[in-house]
Amino acid sequence: MNKTKLKKVLGLVTILLVLIGFIGFVEKQIQDKAYRGLEVDLKAVSGVYFVEEKEIEAILKSAFPELQAGLPISDVPLAAVESRLSGHPFIKSVETFIGQKGILKVTLNQHEPIARIARPMAADGYLTTEGRIIPTSPSYTSRVLILEGAYAEQLMDQGSVDSMPELMPLIRFVTENEFWNAQVSELEINRRDDIRVYQQVGKQVIEFGDALDFESKFRRIEVLYKEILPRKGWNAYERISVKFKNQIVCE
């Protein structure tokens, strides 16, 4: 090996050793840091907080009494903190990391309610956008579509809508449509094939049938609103049904 090549090899080795030494120094600096405190970043859902920062802080204080100022960073149980907070009924996701100043930063995303299951003889619950059912919050109430009826209560007991997957597309359609979100106040779910729609305007309860083919059913209700009720009167009929295909039954 000539001198030029030898110098290049020695130069590369020197750079590598310096880099390894620097990485080791940085890692040592990090290990030598101590825990200095907690910072909770709680993301609101539509401006609402179903859980409060002080509650999160109390949970961590109780579950991890070792989280005291001076605790080595390497001893902060990040995975255990995430696991503990992920079990909270209102928390959708948790991320944790240690900042450069030794602050444990906890970022929390909440579940988003899309409907509320109302039960006359037991506690209500929220249906989330993922189809999960969670308890209501003692601190805040979200104004969402109301679900009632025997089958709705059964879903509440099951903890999800897995046994009625066709329900979520129907609820999303109602809540995401500006007109129907304002007009439909409640869905009464007695059985999978017996859904009834309660309106903000009009005293009749509309027999909807099952949750399938819902867009066609709402188009027929729209025809009812635009062409029939303005001529006959909003309270002219006692019974309205769109549960049969391509039909509007008014009696």
Give the C-alpha separation, 80 to 77, whole Å.
Answer: 5
Query: Chain-wide mean pLDDT for the chain?
Result: 85
Each residue of 136-188: pLDDT tens digit?
Answer: 887 777 789 999 999 999 998 888 888 899 999 999 999 999 999 999 999 99
The pLDDT of residue 154: 92
Q: How far apart are CA 44 and CA 185, in angstroms?
A: 25
C-alpha distances in angstroms, 217 versus 47, 149, 224, 246? 33, 20, 11, 8
- For the chain (length 251 residues), average pLDDT per consecutive 10? 58 64 54 81 80 90 91 91 92 90 91 91 90 84 89 90 93 94 94 93 86 93 86 79 87 82
Q: What is the pTM of this model?
A: 0.76
Give, rounded to a whole angstrom, the gap between the first and last alpha carbons of the chain: 102
Encoded tokens for 153:
């209560």
Domains by residue range for the chain, with CATH: 37-110 (3.10.20.310), 113-250 (3.40.50)
Q: Please name the residue that has the structure tokens 């991890």.
A: 64
CA pair distance 149, 169, nearest whole angstrom: 19
Q: Which residues of 191-228 are buried (b: 16+ CB within 10 A; e: fewer)?
A: ebebbbbbbeebebbbbbbbbeebeebbebbeebbeee
Q: Give the whole-angstrom CA distance, residue 93 versus residue 85.
A: 8
| Token code pair at residue 111 | 């579940």
- For residue 124, what are the CA distances in angstroms to 7, 108, 118? 77, 24, 5
pLDDT computed for residue 248 by the predictor:
86
* Identity of residue 126: Y
